[in-house]
Structure 1
Amino acid sequence: MIRAWRTWQVVEHVAKCRRVAPLQNLIKRDPVSYKEEFLQQWNHYNSIRQIFKTNANEQAQHYKELVNFISQVSTCYPRETAEFPSQLSSLLLQSYGVLSPDTRKTLVQNLVMLRNKDVISSIELLKSLFPLLPRTSSSSLRSYIRKTILSDIKVANLRSQNHKLNRAVQAMLFGMVERGMSAEVIGDKGKLRAMNTPTNDQDNHHVDEAMWAVILTKELWKKGVWTDAKSVSIIAQGCFHPITKVQSASLYFFLGSEESEDPEDEDDDNVNVKALHHRREINKKTRSGDNKLRKQLKTAKKKLHNKGPTLANFSAIQLLHDPQTFGEKLYDMLNTYDKRFSLDHKILIMQLLSRVMGSHKLCVLGFYTYIMKYLVYRQLRVPSILVTLAQSVHDLTPPDAITPVIRKLAHEFVHPGVASEVIAAGLNAIREVSRRQPWAMEEDLLSDLIEYRKSKDKTVTAAARGLLRLYREVNPNMLKRRERGKEAALGFATGSAPLPYGHSAEAAVNIEGLSLLEDHLQKLREEEGVNEEDDESMWRGWDVDSDDSSDSSDEEEWMNVGSDSDNDLVIDDSDDENDQKNDTTEQAEVPKEHSVSTLATTKARPFLPSILTPADFALLNDLRLQAAAKAVETTGGSKAKRKLAELEAAAKSRSADQNPQDEFISENDILGPRKKVKADYAERVASIQKGREGRDKFGSHKGKQNKAMPSSSTNREKARNKPIMMVLSSGTVRSKKKASLREKQRKLRAHITRSKKVRH
């Protein structure tokens, strides 16, 4: 009896499925004619939905089919199915834990279908999908939800910015990060790493949703969909999240690093090649396993090849709201939780703080006191710490705050008791700090540091010469007379002096190489067929005292306006005329060259503009560089080479000023040129392949070179390379041991005789 009832139930279910499938196509063709059939299915859906709410495992398959049917035809009956999307969303959010994986996927797919049919808006869809990301355990469903969110926001902003959607989504993401901010900062150092996991499910949910908020914002920034300050504020808030995992993901965004905290990419980005080979050796040898290993190794090699250089996200740093408060909060977090954070995490925070300080020229003076305890050459990752210190200094940093730091660097790194690499790193760090704030250096300390240019180690010599060359440019007064160099001595003769702390440069006077720009402009005019008379005619009419205009034209252009009262304002321009005459007289007394250098006259040199624009200065710098390169090719003297090197260095510094992102230094700038850097894997493989060129697959060329007929090495050649333990028992060795004193003297005399014959 029970078996018959189950058979009837299966048959009825199959019949309903067969009825629903053709009904769907008929409704789409003629919705009005088949409205009653649809209402029957709708009532059937409501009855099953009530059963499904109490018991999710009962009638699950039938419920999914009805949901698919109503989603397909919902556009034909919008009034009847008005509550259908909210029913699906509430079921997902309220009963997500008890639903089966297939039911969850069906409900999510139907919500996306309703969005594609414009039944619901993007905001309604995203409000349903965002809470599901931290709750789902299925990687396929999580990946589908993530791609749906990103593609929906990207399509909405494809033609123009959808500000309404962006504001709503950014508010949701900011709330996801904000909900877990009240928790206690646990840290990730030592045994506390295990305590980093939240104690209850609610806290775990807040951690996951904050992590997903940061991941989605980073992805939208990377795709160029969001490039505004609000998206930066979301990740900036994540930098202060109590969970270090969320902090690291946010910090890596501003630092521009390729390190990924994404759970979807964790297995792909960190491929352990050695572990893959080891697993292949211990597992069963199959052809499918070999193909899988080959595919994984190819993917890892491709990702390693496509991985570019790490650059800071300078645009995001510039969009920070209130960078001074942001930097102070980073320092407070770093100082407060110093014992809880690991060294790697603290270096991440210090790197971001230093780049924000350097970009926005902030003064967080407590940071220099904090970092001094890490300025020891035995400290782990000390090159990264030195880079952080140098990047935090700028021209507005008070010299009194940097002077103790330079003393500590000199005391710990630059002394005879350490290796040459340590001394070079210390000198390079001092040079980078002094480049940004030269007034922090003490004269006696500078005199001691530049003495290392006489060292026998090339790296130390190069570092000391770099420091000496820096102060020859920025402040030669701190150097002794014999150390200033020729250029600095000429500067003293002209009376030039470095600008004090806090002062900015004045207008350019006596511009070097201005004649090159004049000749270049004259050449361009000649190529275009414009002579000096045409240039004069172009300026005609601009002069106030021009004689071209007649009195009649003046009378026609000017109108006499009668006064309405006797108390009109009377303007006397006699003083202005006198001042104009005095200015003309003074200008005539100025020498011709001086007037050109100060850009005061135009009549003397018609081909030179009266005001130089930034483009003119850029052209002038290029012309000076070309002239110096030409002088090196023609003369080849040391003076011309030094001039070319100075101009190239100046051009590099100007490009760094135009692109502040290039101002960030790397560890190689601190370590300097090393004698022989340890080769990486790619370099070792290239060296091995180079050694195999022109060689057979097996065998050796020993004994076969420079011979007419190929042959192996002789027994005498082989005996020279035999190990000592193999020849101790030979007759030759035993005879030498048992030889008498007379025999030894005779052999020595014969050896001396043969040597004399060879020399003669």
Structure 2
Amino acid sequence: MPRGVLRTANLPQLQNLIKRDAAAYKEEFLQQWNHYNSIRQIFQINPDEQAAHFRELVTFISQVAQCYPKETAEFPTQLSTLLLEHYGSLSPDIRHSIVQNLVMLKNKGVITSIELLKTLFPLLPRTTSSTLRTFIRKTILSDIKTANMRSKNHKLNRAVQAMLFGMVERGMDGTVTGDKGKSRSQPAGSAEGQANSGDEAMWAVVLTKELWKKGIWDDAKPVSIVALGCFHPSAKVQSASLHFFLGSDEEVEDSDDEEDNAPDIRSLEHKREVTKKTRSGDKKLRRTMKEASKKRKRKDAGSLANFPALQLLNDPQTFGEKLYDMLNKYDNRFSLDHKILIMQLLARVTSAHKLTVLGFYTYVLKYISYHQLRVPAILASLAQSVHDFTPPDALIPVIRKLAQEFIHPGVGAEVVSAGLNSIREICRRQPWAMEEDLLGDLVEYRKSRDKAVTAAARGLLQLFREVNPGMLKRRERGKTASMGMAQGNQPAPFGHSAQAAVDIDGLVLLEDHLNALREEAGEASGEDEDDEEAWNGWDVESDSSDSSSDGEGWIDVDSDGDDHVSISDSEDEDEKGKKAKVGENNPGEEIPDPNRTSTLATTKILTPADFAKLNDLKIQAATKAVESGGGSAAKRKLASLEAAKKAASSGNDDSNLFISEMDILGPRKKAKADYEERMASIAKGREGREKFGSMKGKRNKEQPSSTTNREKARNKPIMMIMGSKGVKGKKKQSLREKQQRLRAHIDKAKKAYH
């Protein structure tokens, strides 16, 4: 009898016994189950009564629910209903305990992930506890990540995406209040409901962004959820959705940064040097360095734009028109920063999909003024929205307004350079938007004394030398453009595209380089090699920068259907083609024919290492062209190739697709440092220079001190003291004063001697 009482009263002990033998202790469990039902009814009426005991019973039943599935079939539903319907009256401890128990039931297989997420999603906008909110958020993300780890769980993903889409859609019929004057009161009766719908939609957007960022979702459905959030009545939801497409991070909570902790590459390399050299250790170090490089590139590329999300937009033309309608309709309700976000997204969608939203160019005219706040960002968005299919008639008023507001003697040099750079970027995408008379006036600014203005005007001049030299005066066209016009070369009219490419630029150089490597290697390239080592040189990170002659890369399949395959990075096309070595130091080398079309792309799979080597060969060829007197055109080509290589090495492969504010501002003079900056620079320059200071009178004495003014005067050059009062006084002394001074000196010397 005492043992039975002890089992029933001690819930942890009873829980342990039930897990060992559930059938033997079913009666004791049913007793606790009935006790739980009676307390639950009391708890729903008065949550403060027996709260601690109720929490213990809930935890006990959650631990052993899988042992009695028939008796506890309604238990998860009861917890979910209690949490959702009586959330406001529950204490924080009870809320957290119920959520933890629901997660435990899911881990034990009592409920599914969908049933758990249906309970957790509505709690995010309602909870005020940061601890519980963080726990719910991490639980949702980890559960979806675990379900999609081995393969895509389409059933769970569809259910979760439907819930998130519903969370955003429920508040779409609200009133757009904007973010200008954030402290103003909302209409009575709708403020609370609209705020709840805004918080709900905000969490839906945040969770979708997190799942996209971690690579769990990468299709068009999460993009559609965030795209709907761009038109939500809440400006906060709009801002979060706009930042998603613009590629910038604006989070409301601290995210889980466990995956972002990059390994210490330097310590791993040092450890590799001092430990025993093994092949597995080398492979592990290369794999770690490759993963760290990919993470760094993803982080750097995120500052430009979410280009994959822009490409996955459904019906981008309608999306762009809705953005413009929202921008135009609620112009007085949005702040300038929020309107610039909408402009940037509209411009990038228009550029990526070559859309036509003509009303935007009329709308932006009122913001084209040199005293407008954040005008560089507005001008960058304006230039970004232009493409080769934009009608020139819509851009002519814009260019005229830019010239009238920015390019005249009444403004500063930086304003003029910004205006010229903006016009240049617009005309780079649509040259037919420029008028001939205006172009003649603008290129005259290349004679300005300011370096930024001169560079901007020369850039505009050089652009039209390449795209349409007929609009320039004869003396401004240059030699190459004049020769092209004499041969009958004319720019393509509006709406006409250039001829389709038939070859990859510079592929002949790569073909000749691989032929030369194969000639040097001879038959040695046919030797067997390790399968693991054969794949090391296919990517750019593991490829050497000096040469690609190590024979590593993708598999080249012969065209005759032979089953034999060889792993070689230098395997290329049929040897019947023309062979030539690239270089001018070899006396008997053959120069590749510039009109020859390479067949390398049709006979070999080009790897990232091949394209990297191709870029290096193009840079080498451009460098030789510059050294042999190729002129300014060769120098510009070399500069563009080097800039593209630098952008690719930093991970910003799409940097030429988007315009930044620095492209509009151009090169600027260094601002004058203030007093604090000058003092900080002086203090920094004095660091570590104590050993160069004088030791006299400071450290050679028992009591460190500086020298006196008389001691300092003795070491001064005569020209520094010629104008001093003492020297001038000696020149004006009388004969009697000189005698008295000499007698005093003699008496003082005698006293010192004796």
TM-score, normalisation: structure 2: 0.71
Distance 1:204 1:432 in 2: 42
Bigger mean CA deviation after superposition, 330-339 or 203-212: 203-212
Distance 1:510 1:222 in 2: 36
Distance 1:614 1:478 in 2: 44
Which 5+ residue runs of structure 2 have no aligned equivalent? 256-298, 524-557, 561-589, 699-703, 714-723, 729-754
Which of 1 and 2 has greater Rg? Answer: 1
Name the residue aligned to 2:220: 229
Contact 1:173 1:234 in 2 (8 A): yes
Give 1:387 deviation, angstroms.
0.6
* Pairing partner for 2:368 from 371, 375, 379: 375
Distance 1:710 1:62 in 2: 78
% identical aligned pairs:
65
Give 1:60 deviation, angstroms.
1.4
Alpha-carbon spacing, 1:150–1:626, altered in 2? closer, same or farther (3 Å): same
Give 1:690 deviation, angstroms.
3.1
Name the residue aligned to 2:168: 177
Q: Which amino acid aligns with 2:338?
A: H
Contact 2:619 2:641 in 1 (8 A): no
Distance 1:511 1:221 in 2: 34
Q: Which amino acid aligns with 1:629?
A: T
Name the residue aligned to 1:429: 422
Alpha-carbon spacing, 1:646–1:599, altered in 2? closer, same or farther (3 Å): closer
Q: Deviations over 1:20-62 (max 9, x none)?
A: 2211101100111111111111111111112112211112111
Give 1:492 deviation, angstroms.
2.2
User: Which secondary structure state, in structure 1, belongs to the residue aligned with residue 66 of structure 2?
Assistant: coil
Distance 1:199 1:696 in 2: 70
Name the residue aligned to 2:566: none
Alpha-carbon spacing, 1:473–1:17, altered in 2? closer, same or farther (3 Å): farther
* Pairing partner for 1:357 from 341, 347, 350: 350
Give 1:220 deviation, angstroms.
1.1
Distance 2:504 2:73 in 1: 76
Q: Deviations over 1:446-483 (max 9, x none)?
A: 11101000000111101111111111111111111211
Give 1:156 deviation, angstroms.
0.8
Alpha-carbon spacing, 1:54–1:682, altered in 2? closer, same or farther (3 Å): farther
Residues 454-465 of structure 1 mapped to structure 2, 5 A cutoff:
454-465=447-458
Distance 2:430 2:243 in 1: 28
User: Which secondary structure state, in structure 2, belongs to the residue aligned with residue 339 of structure 1?
Assistant: coil
Q: Deviations over 1:224-273 (max 9, x none)?
A: 1111111111111111111111111111111112333x1568xxxxxxxx
Give 1:687 deviation, angstroms.
3.4
Distance 2:559 2:149 in 1: 53
* Pairing partner for 2:662 from 650, 668, 677: 668
Distance 1:258 1:679 in 2: 32
Which 5+ residue runs of structure 1 have no aligned equivalent? 1-13, 266-305, 531-538, 542-592, 601-606, 719-730, 736-760
Contact 1:459 1:672 in 2 (8 A): yes
Distance 1:465 1:94 in 2: 70
Distance 1:84 1:686 in 2: 67
Name the residue aligned to 1:627: 621
Name the residue aligned to 2:113: 122
Contact 2:171 2:201 in 1 (8 A): yes
- Determine if the alignment matches structure 1 residue 252 to structure 2 residue 243: yes
Name the residue aligned to 2:684: 690
Name the residue aligned to 2:57: 66
> Larger % of helix: which?
1
Q: Which amino acid aligns with 1:146?
A: R
Alpha-carbon spacing, 1:610–1:112, altered in 2? closer, same or farther (3 Å): closer
Q: Deviations over 1:405-460 (max 9, x none)?
A: 11110110011110000001111111111111111111111111010000001111
User: Which secondary structure state, in structure 1, belongs to the residue aligned with residue 10 of structure 2?
Assistant: helix
Residues 608-623 of structure 1 mapped to structure 2, 5 A cutoff:
622-623=616-617
Name the residue aligned to 1:443: 436
Bigger mean CA deviation after superposition, 423-432 or 709-718: 709-718
Name the residue aligned to 1:142: 133
Give 1:316 deviation, angstroms.
1.0
Contact 1:625 1:648 in 2 (8 A): no
- Determine if the alignment matches structure 1 residue 19 to structure 2 residue 30: no
Give 1:529 deviation, angstroms.
4.4
Alpha-carbon spacing, 1:197–1:353, altered in 2? closer, same or farther (3 Å): farther
Distance 1:510 1:146 in 2: 51
Q: Which amino acid aligns with 2:499?
A: E
Name the residue aligned to 1:485: 478
* Pairing partner for 2:192 from 175, 184, 201: 201
Q: Deviations over 1:90-116 (max 9, x none)?
A: 111111111111111111111011001
Name the residue aligned to 2:180: 189
Contact 2:622 2:637 in 1 (8 A): no
Q: Which amino acid aligns with 2:396?
A: T
Equivalences, count: 598
Contact 1:197 1:204 in 2 (8 A): no
Q: Which amino acid aligns with 2:681?
A: S
Q: Deviations over 1:46-81 (max 9, x none)?
A: 111121122111121111111111111111111111
- Determine if the alignment matches structure 1 residue 29 to structure 2 residue 4: no
Contact 2:245 2:306 in 1 (8 A): yes
Distance 1:672 1:502 in 2: 30
Distance 2:711 2:411 in 1: 49
Bigger mean CA deviation after superposition, 687-696 or 514-523: 514-523
Bigger mean CA deviation after superposition, 388-397 or 52-61: 52-61
Cα RMSD (Å): 4.1
Distance 1:429 1:418 in 2: 16
User: Which secondary structure state, in structure 1, belongs to the residue aligned with residue 78 of structure 2?
Assistant: helix
Name the residue aligned to 2:142: 151
Contact 1:93 1:132 in 2 (8 A): yes
Distance 1:167 1:49 in 2: 35
Distance 2:514 2:486 in 1: 33
